[in-house]
Amino acid sequence: GESVGLHLPTLSVQEGDNSIINCAYSNSASDYFIWYKQESGKGPQFIIDIRSNMDKRQGQRVTVLLNKTVKHLSLQIAATQPGDSAVYFCAETKIQGAQKLVFGQGTRLTINP
């Protein structure tokens, strides 16, 4: 649903620490999930995706974990850097049938020096 009137949750971590951003998705039928990163004044950019037949996928410094039992998605960022400061969105969809992406509320990550 819409997030009108709601402000983004925030997470602050020290530079060099690992961060974990969580997302609860809404549709148990969703079978494809994506994490996006949005820097201030820019459009969201793809970080990593995962299909429902997997429970973990790793990229460069990022790992996505999927728990279908509780409809939970998380993004782990290792050894955070100042450039990781941004808003992170999760998104879900069902691949078949040209379904729209449904975006989560987003989390603002701040990296402290």
Q: Which is nearer to other proteins, 6 or 69 (CB)?
A: 6
From 29, 69, 98, 113, residue interacting with other proteins (rule: CB under 8 A):
98
**How many other CB atoms sit within 10 Å of the CB of residue 102?**
15
C-alpha span between 88 and 38 (Å, rounded): 6
Alpha-helical regions (H) of the chain: none
Number of C-beta neighbours around residue 93 at 10 A: 19
Closest to other proteins by CB, 74 vs 99, is 99
Binding site for other proteins (CB under 8 A): 2-4, 6-8, 32, 34, 36, 41-46, 49, 89, 91, 93-101, 103-106, 108
